């Protein structure tokens, strides 16, 4: 972490960058927040640890409008989002300085709480990110790092940064699950079971828009679901079709653009596994139109703005045919 701070100070000092976008220590050991650092002094509050899960690439849309370069720290998976945003002309590469940071998997306090741990006073992560010691009002607990890890880290995209100006720190292979296993599990269900599953999950939705607002692919200036222009604005949660429509259309709009960064599922206050929508589309795209990794580069045409003459017919795209 100190290496990151030192390097940031250097780049600020020599005028390469005008500001630094990173994570700031929170008031608890587990709640760092995204912050801009404008000088060496502010950088004293900088933090980088297992809890720094936030994908900073989307913040660069606003940062690109500022005077001078912004130094940004990107984890390997964040770099895919960065590329995708570059492809869509949403950020300015010339106004960013990318330091790829090593990542050993990211954890969240929600997962720790899910283990039944309450009244957390502090969390300590050991040197090698193997174990977490949790001090609570009701006694101390030890948790395996992997058990507190976000879903996305169990199916990590890899240790490589697809874009960066320099890389600091080592990454770790955290994959211990099959990426499409959950999607396949659902695919194997009967229509009634599928419907029941998604109804149970989506009826929790409170339409807070956190998933959309955190999503680097959902970078629209004005979302269709906020726009009064097409009579498509939605705000009410009516435990009916509206949520499904919102989530299906959102998944559709980011299909071929979603890098599977997992932020949507991370931020959902109701713990809805929203990535299951996006991952279904990714699986379909891979199957129908060939392997495609959104954000792997900043040039390739996305699968939904492309075609071949012998693409699969919609009736053949569904399991039972139409």
- Cα separations in angstroms, 237 against 36, 107, 209, 232: 35, 30, 12, 14
65, 126, 130, 160: residue in contact with another protein (rule CB under 8 A): 65
Mask: binding to another protein, 172-201, rule CB under 8 A, as x and -? Answer: -----------x--xx-x-xxxxxxxx-xx
Q: Which residues from 89-128 bind another protein, rule CB under 8 A?
A: 89-90, 118-121
Answer yes or no whether residue 317 interacts with another protein by CB under 8 A. yes
Can you say how many angstroms the Cα of residue 161 is from the centroid of all Cα atoms in its chain? 15
Question: Which residues lie across from 36 on neighbouring strands?
Answer: 21
The one-character DSSP state at 260 is -
46, 82, 145, 277: residue in contact with another protein (rule CB under 8 A): 277
Answer yes or no whether residue 67 interacts with another protein by CB under 8 A. no
C-beta separation of 201 from 271 below 8 A: no
Q: Which stretch binds another protein (CB under 8 A): 23-31, 93-101, 143-151, 163-171?
A: 23-31
Q: How far apart are CA 13 and CA 6, in angstroms?
A: 10
Answer yes or no whether residue 227 interacts with another protein by CB under 8 A. yes
Can you say how many angstroms the Cα of residue 114 is from the centroid of all Cα atoms in its chain? 20
36, 93, 131, 165: residue in contact with another protein (rule CB under 8 A): 36
102, 151, 237, 296: residue in contact with another protein (rule CB under 8 A): 237
Q: Where are the beta strands (DSSP E) in the chain?
A: 19-24, 33-37, 70-74, 96-101, 120-125, 131-136, 139-144, 166-168
Judged by CB, which is closer to another protein: 114, or 166?
114
Angle, in degrees to the nearest 10, between helices 241-254 and 191-202: 100
Number of residues that bind another protein (CB under 8 A): 110
Judged by CB, which is closer to another protein: 166, or 193?
193
Mask: binding to another protein, 44-63, rule CB under 8 A, as x and -? Answer: ----------x---------
Judged by CB, which is closer to another protein: 66, or 144?
66
Q: How far apart are CA 110 and CA 94, in angstroms?
A: 37
For residue 20, count other CB atoms closer than 10 A to its CB.
Answer: 27
Answer yes or no whether residue 280 interacts with another protein by CB under 8 A. yes
Answer yes or no whether residue 299 interacts with another protein by CB under 8 A. no
């Amino acid at each position: 972490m100190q290496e990151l701070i030192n390097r940031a100070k250097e780049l600020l000092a020599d005028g390469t960058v005008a500001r630094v976008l990173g994570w700031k220590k929170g008031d608890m050991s587990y709640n760092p927040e995204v912050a801009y650092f404008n000088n060496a002094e502010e950088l004293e509050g900088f933090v980088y640890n297992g809890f720094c899960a936030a994908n900073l690439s989307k913040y660069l849309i606003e940062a690109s409008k500022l005077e001078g370069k912004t130094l940004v720290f990107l984890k390997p998976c964040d770099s895919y989002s960065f590329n995708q945003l570059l492809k869509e002309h949403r950020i300015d590469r010339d106004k960013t300085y990318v330091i790829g940071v090593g990542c050993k998997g990211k954890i969240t306090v929600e997962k720790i709480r899910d283990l039944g741990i309450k009244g957390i006073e502090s969390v300590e992560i050991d040197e090698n990110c193997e174990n977490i010691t949790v001090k609570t009002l009701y006694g101390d607990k030890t948790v395996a790092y992997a058990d507190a890890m976000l879903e996305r880290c169990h199916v990590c995209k890899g240790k490589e940064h697809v874009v960066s100006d320099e890389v600091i720190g080592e990454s770790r292979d955290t994959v211990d699950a099959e990426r499409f296993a959950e999607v396949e599990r659902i695919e194997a269900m009967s229509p009634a079971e599928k419907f029941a599953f998604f109804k149970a999950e989506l009826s929790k939705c409170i339409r807070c828009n956190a998933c959309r607002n955190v999503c680097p692919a959902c970078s629209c200036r004005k979302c269709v679901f906020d726009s009064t222009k097409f009579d498509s604005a939605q705000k009410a949660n009516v435990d009916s079709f509206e949520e499904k429509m919102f989530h299906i259309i959102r998944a559709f709009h980011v299909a071929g653009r979603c890098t599977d960064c997992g932020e949507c599922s991370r931020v959902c206050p109701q713990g809805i596994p929203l990535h299951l929508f996006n991952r279904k589309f990714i699986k379909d795209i891979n199957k129908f139109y060939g392997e495609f990794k959104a954000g792997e580069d900043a040039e390739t045409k996305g699968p939904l703005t492309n075609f071949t003459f012998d693409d699969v017919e919609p009736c053949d795209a569904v399991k039972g045919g139409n």
